[in-house]
């Protein structure tokens, strides 16, 4: 009897265990013949719609490759992507920005694309200035999705109402500050969004003085005094109602959705011109125009503006289908049809021929980007010296957190600058 009993027991236990084991091993099998790749990015709806259309074209041309796409907001994107790459579930084509590119390259997470160049990946029509930013030790680790540069986007109606015209050759900093105060005083809407929130605009300001955020070997290239000066300038402007209030500034994340200007808390704003399309489509009740950044010097090296890829395409080292992934990247940057669909949703097309085609056929938002880049052509500097190393994502986040303390009156620009520099040094060393 006891033998029979234990057999049932064992049977029951085996059943339970079998349930556990089968639950653990439920990963799906692949489909034969057809390659399936994943393409992930962050961005707004404009970008998503255009990208999905371009991907559909690619699938039509390459019936053996199936592309599944995913997009999200920036914050969740980076966290999810890194976890996936480390966890072995890397997508095949990824979108990166400067801080994440620096981070991934230094941590050896990206596939070297040099072996594909000239074969399945054609880069001959892309300017070397644009490509040089994605090289490490001479090897190509990412492909620019396009070209962008900094701009001041403004509501022309509000500016006209205040009697402020943008100087033909661009503002000097003194002119800019006083004009922003005028707009604030005459229209009730502060002249510009407080530009102290983003490390990007501090980077521009530094470049105008021949400095930069980081050296090429990933060290800090500015002092607490520089930052004190910058934050004093920006926070003073906010106090004089020339720049947005703290409540609006703290919301900023570079998207038009949370933009102080789009939310009518400011009459202008610094951003990259790859976002101009989105400003034009989401701004209500005003004509949106773009102007170059304020600068006290002349020429492209002192303009605070450079030819930067708004985002990069790259292939993770652990990607499952690298050949197909490279094929998709090549299609996105070089195919005229794809260029037509994508327009300037990731900056102007990197391929010169495609760019000309897109610009000559452009309307509305895309035309505005083309016109702006043509107008400021002589001010756009080389992209060398704009590399952001590993740790720069943390510094970007920290920059905004620390500046919050300044605009909400919790610390002075000087003590905030000191805090940022000490924390930045830790981020770069760890």
Partner 1 sequence: MVSVLTRPAEVRAASGGQRRRRRRRGQASGYLFLSPWIIGAALLTIGPMAFSLYLSFTDYDLFTSPKWVGTQNYVRMFTQDDHYWDAVQVTVKYVVISVPLQLGLALAVALLLNQPRRARGFYRSAFYAPSLLGASVSVALVWRAMFGSGGTVARGLRGLGIHTGSWIDQPKYALLSLVALSIWQFGAPMVIFLAGLKQIPRDLYEAAAIDGAGPVRRFVSVTLPMLSPVLLFNLVLAIIHSFQAFTSAYVISNGRGGPSDSTLFYTLYLYQRGFTDFRMGYAAAMAWVLLVVIAVITAGVFRSARRWAFYAGEDQR
Residues facing residue 271 across a β-bridge: 151
* Main-chain phi, psi angles of 25, to 5 degrees: -110, 50
Sort 429 into a burial class: Cβ within 10 Å, 0-12 / 13-18 / 19+: exposed
Binding mask 103-142 for partner 1 (x = CB under 8 A): x---xxx---------------------------------
Please, which residues have CB within 8 angstroms of residue 304's CB and are 6 or more apart in sequence?
150, 204, 205, 207, 208, 293, 294, 295
Under the criterion CB under 8 A, does residue 384 sit at the interface with partner 1? no
Identify which of residues 107 and 219 has a Cβ nearer to partner 1 in the complex. Answer: 107
Residues 69-98 that bind partner 1 (CB under 8 A): 75-76, 78-79, 82-83, 86
Shortest separation between residue 270's beta carbon and partner 1, angstroms: 20
Shortest separation between residue 376's beta carbon and partner 1, angstroms: 32
Q: CA angle, 370 as apex, 366 and 376 as ends, to 5°? A: 145
Shortest separation between residue 265's beta carbon and partner 1, angstroms: 9
Under the criterion CB under 8 A, does residue 11 sit at the interface with partner 1? no
Under the criterion CB under 8 A, does residue 303 sit at the interface with partner 1? no
In contact, 177 and 237? CB cutoff 8 Å: yes
- Neighbour count for residue 87 (Cβ, 10 Å): 9
Helix H or strand E segment including 288:
strand 288-291
Shortest separation between residue 183's beta carbon and partner 1, angstroms: 21
Identify which of residues 185 and 246 has a Cβ nearer to partner 1 in the complex. Answer: 246
Identify which of residues 83 and 165 has a Cβ nearer to partner 1 in the complex. Answer: 83
Under the criterion CB under 8 A, does residue 410 sit at the interface with partner 1? yes
**For partner 1, which residue of 49, 216, 298, 422 counts as binding (CB under 8 A)?**
422
Listing DSSP states for 170-184 in one string gives: ---HHHHHHHHHHHH
Shortest separation between residue 139's beta carbon and partner 1, angstroms: 18
In contact, 393 and 199? CB cutoff 8 Å: no
Q: CA angle, 369 as apex, 363 and 373 as ends, to 5°? A: 130
Under the criterion CB under 8 A, does residue 394 sit at the interface with partner 1? yes
Shortest separation between residue 217's beta carbon and partner 1, angstroms: 18
**For the CA atoms of the chain, what is the radius of gyration?**
25
In contact, 110 and 140? CB cutoff 8 Å: no
Under the criterion CB under 8 A, does residue 2 sit at the interface with partner 1? yes
Under the criterion CB under 8 A, does residue 234 sit at the interface with partner 1? no
Under the criterion CB under 8 A, does residue 62 sit at the interface with partner 1? no
Residues facing residue 375 across a β-bridge: none
Q: Which residues bind partner 1 (CB under 8 A)?
A: 2, 6, 9-10, 12-13, 16-17, 19-20, 75-76, 78-79, 82-83, 86, 103, 107-109, 246-248, 250-251, 253, 258, 263, 391, 393-394, 397-398, 400-401, 404-405, 407-408, 410, 419, 422-423, 426-427, 430
């Amino acid at each position: 009897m006891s033998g029979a009993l234990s057999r049932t027991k064992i049977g029951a236990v085996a059943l339970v265990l079998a349930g556990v084991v089968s639950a653990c091993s439920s990963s799906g099998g692949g489909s034969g013949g057809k390659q399936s790749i994943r393409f992930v990015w962050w961005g707004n709806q404009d970008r998503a719609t255009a990208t999905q259309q371009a991907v559909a074209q690619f699938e039509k041309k390459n019936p053996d490759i199936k592309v599944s796409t995913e997009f999200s907001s920036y914050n969740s994107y980076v966290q999810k992507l890194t976890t996936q790459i480390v966890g072995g579930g890397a997508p095949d084509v990824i979108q990166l920005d400067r801080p994440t590119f620096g981070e991934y390259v230094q941590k050896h997470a990206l596939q070297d694309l040099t072996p594909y160049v000239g074969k399945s990946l054609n880069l001959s029509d892309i300017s070397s200035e644009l490509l040089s930013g994605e090289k490490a030790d001479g090897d190509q680790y990412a492909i620019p999705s396009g070209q962008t540069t900094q701009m001041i986007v403004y509501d022309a109606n509000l500016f006209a109402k205040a009697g402020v015209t943008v100087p033909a050759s661009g503002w000097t900093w003194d002119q800019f500050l006083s004009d922003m105060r005028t707009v604030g005083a005459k229209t009730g809407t502060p002249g510009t969004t407080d530009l102290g929130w983003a490390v990007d605009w501090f980077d521009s300001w530094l470049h105008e003085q021949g400095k930069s955020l980081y050296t090429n070997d990933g060290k800090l290239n500015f002092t607490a005094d520089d930052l004190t000066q910058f934050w004093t300038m920006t926070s003073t402007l906010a106090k004089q109602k020339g720049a947005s209030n703290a409540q609006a500034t703290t919301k900023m994340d570079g998207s038009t959705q949370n933009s102080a200007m789009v939310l009518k808390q400011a009459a202008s704003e610094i951003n990259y011109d790859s976002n101009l399309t989105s400003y034009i489509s989401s701004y209500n009740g005003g004509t949106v125009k773009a102007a170059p950044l304020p600068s006290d010097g002349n020429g492209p090296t002192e303009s605070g503006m450079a030819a930067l890829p708004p985002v990069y395409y790259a292939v993770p080292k652990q990607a499952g289908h690298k050949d197909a992934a490279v094929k998709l990247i090549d299609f996105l940057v070089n195919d005229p049809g794809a260029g037509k669909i994508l327009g300037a949703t990731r900056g102007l097309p990197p391929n010169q021929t495609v760019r000309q085609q897109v610009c000559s056929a452009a309307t509305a938002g895309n035309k505005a980007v083309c016109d702006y880049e043509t107008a400021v052509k002589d001010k756009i500097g080389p992209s060398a010296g704009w590399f952001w190393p590993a740790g720069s994502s943390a510094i970007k986040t920290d920059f905004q957190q620390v500046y919050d303390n300044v605009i909400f009156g919790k610390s002075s620009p000087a003590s905030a600058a000191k805090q940022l520099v000490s924390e930045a040094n830790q981020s770069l060393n760890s």
